[in-house]
């Protein structure tokens, strides 16, 4: 427990993640989800308005429980019931092959053992189910990547363990997924080190 990590940081993250530039990326990432969906890093519920009608239930995991309070309005307005099932994507209290899809937006950067979390995602996804992701990570441009490596320690310290330098595509593939789609772009707002996007879908190989 700590004032910064458990109270101030989730509020700052909520403000930063409410950036209107992210809304179309949330919509694009949530498109095609259906049935029972697991969300890694629920945060303050900013994806709720973008869940397609075909989503019947959301299973949410996040260690920062203050996010649920910040999500109160969005939860009240959401037609999709939300179950807060756990605090850590590395240990999912879900049966094998029990979810139709998994949503992760700007969360794989922050999970300490991301390989373990993705192994859990693999375990709980039904055959044919997909991981839908919008993440930031290691940039293709070597000059930006060099700064990402240099600033990674500071970022991790200040931003709750968020890494600037994770090669999201390679991490997802190494966990046994096949990438079905992957797009890159910089956000228009924010420094290049923190805004190189990985937008895609992956299914269990």
Ligand X SMILES: C[S@@+](CC[C@H](N)C(=O)[O-])C[C@H]1O[C@@H](n2cnc3c(N)ncnc32)[C@H](O)[C@@H]1O
Where on the chain is the footprint of ligand X (CB under 6 A)? 13, 17, 40-41, 43, 46, 61-64, 67, 88-90, 105-107, 110-111
Q: Which residue's Cβ lies closest to ligand X?
A: 43
Nearer CB in complex with ligand X: 74/182: 74
Tokens for 34?
A: 């259906």
**How many helices and strands in the chain, by DSSP H and E?**
9, 7
Nearer CB in complex with ligand X: 87/174: 87
Nearer CB in complex with ligand X: 16/174: 16
Nearer CB in complex with ligand X: 93/178: 93
| Partners of 59 in the β-ladder | 38, 83
What's the min distance (Å) between Cβ of 62 and ligand X? 5
What's the min distance (Å) between Cβ of 39 and ligand X? 7
What's the min distance (Å) between Cβ of 32 and ligand X? 17
Q: What distances in angstroms separate CA 176 from CA 16, 75, 98, 119, one per listed residue?
A: 32, 33, 18, 8
Alpha-carbon distance of 40 to 59, in angstroms, equals: 9
Alpha-carbon distance of 125 to 127, in angstroms, equals: 6
User: Can you tell me whether residue 29 is helix, strand or coil?
Assistant: helix
What's the min distance (Å) between Cβ of 82 and ligand X? 13
């Amino acid at each position: 427990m700590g004032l910064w990590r458990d109270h101030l940081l989730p509020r700052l993250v909520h403000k930063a993640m409410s950036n209107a530039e992210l809304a179309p990326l949330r919509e694009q990432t949530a498109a095609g989800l259906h049935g029972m969906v697991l969300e890694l890093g629920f945060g303050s519920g900013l994806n709720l308005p973008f869940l397609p009608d075909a989503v019947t239930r959301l299973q949410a995991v996040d260690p920062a429980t203050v996010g649920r309070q910040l999500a109160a309005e969005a939860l009240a307005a959401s037609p999709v019931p939300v179950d807060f099932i756990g605090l850590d994507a590395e240990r999912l209290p879900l049966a094998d092959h029990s979810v139709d899809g998994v949503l992760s937006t700007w969360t794989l950067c922050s999970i300490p053992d991301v390989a373990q979390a993705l192994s859990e995602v693999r375990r709980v996804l039904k055959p044919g189910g997909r991981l839908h992701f919008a993440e930031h990570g290691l940039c293709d441009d070597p000059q930006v990547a060099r700064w990402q490596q240099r600033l990674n320690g500071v970022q991790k310290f200040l931003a709750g363990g968020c890494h600037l330098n994770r090669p999201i595509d390679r991490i997802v593939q190494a966990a046994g997924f096949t990438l079905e789609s992957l797009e890159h772009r910089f956000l228009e707002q924010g420094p290049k080190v923190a805004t190189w996007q990985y937008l895609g879908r992956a299914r269990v190989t």
